Amino acid sequence: LQDPWPQLSNYDLIRIQLLLGSVRDWNTVYAQACESFQPRARLEQAEIEWRFFSDDGTLESSSALVTWSDTLCRAMRTAGLCLDIDGRTRNKLEAVGFVDVSEATIQLPINPWSSQKRLKELGELFYDCLSQAVHSMSMAALTRIEQWSKDDVLRLVEDVREEARRLTIHAYCKL
């Protein structure tokens, strides 16, 4: 993605999805996308910010969810990658020539705790994704960069899964 793209200038849509933690140089990616567009083309990007938020205090700062996200984000930063949505995306896009940049943030519940039907459904889906992804997202970063033992990572993964199942924890990520 960060290597030179084929010299095609006829894209009318480029969609980037769930690449936080995989790209070291977003400026290059955005510049290449901008150069590859037809007039009035569109770039869409959807990312999950791997931080957990709660508006009602049900997520404690000492929770496994917070420990996991803080540790994983720190490890990825050490590796020169970022899992945080840094708030500078709009500026980066505009700097390489994008216009009419708009952003939207969606709450992505970690489980079906919400009373709103749509958020409850999103929570069911995201819980399935999170409970499966937490292991693969954690093992290399925490053992190689943070120097955790495999057993410690597995314990944290199980604690994260257990907390994410609890409907009394009204946490969400931002999409």
pLDDT of residue 2: 66
Domain extent at residue 170? 11-174
pLDDT at 68: 98
Q: Is residue 160 part of a domain?
A: yes
Residue 58 lies in a domain: yes
Per-residue pLDDT, 1: 63
Beta-carbon-side half-sphere exposure of residue 129 (alpha carbons within 13 Å): 14
Count structural domains, the chain: 1
- For the segment 120-132, the average pLDDT, to the nearest whole number, is 97
Average pLDDT over residues 14-27: 92
Asked if residue 40 is part of any domain, the answer here is yes
Average pLDDT over residues 156-174: 98
Flag whether 114 is in a domain. yes
Number of neighbouring beta carbons within 10 Å of residue 68: 23
The predicted-structure confidence for 32-68, as pLDDT tens digits, reads as follows 888 888 888 899 999 999 999 999 999 999 999 999 9
Distance CA 150, CA 15 (A): 35
State how far the alpha carbon of 122 is from the alpha carbons of 45, 82, 106, 130, 159, in Å: 19, 24, 10, 12, 22
Residue 100 domain flag: yes
The predicted-structure confidence for 7-17, as pLDDT tens digits, reads as follows 666 888 999 99
pLDDT single digits (tens) 62-118: 999 999 999 999 999 999 998 888 788 999 999 999 999 999 999 999 999 999 999
Q: What is the pLDDT of residues 142-158, one digit of tens each?
A: 999 999 999 999 999 99
Mean pLDDT of 139-143: 98
135: in domain: yes
HSE, side-chain direction, 13 A CA sphere, residue 143: 14
pLDDT at 35: 86
Is residue 3 a part of any domain in this protein?
no
pLDDT attached to residue 88: 85
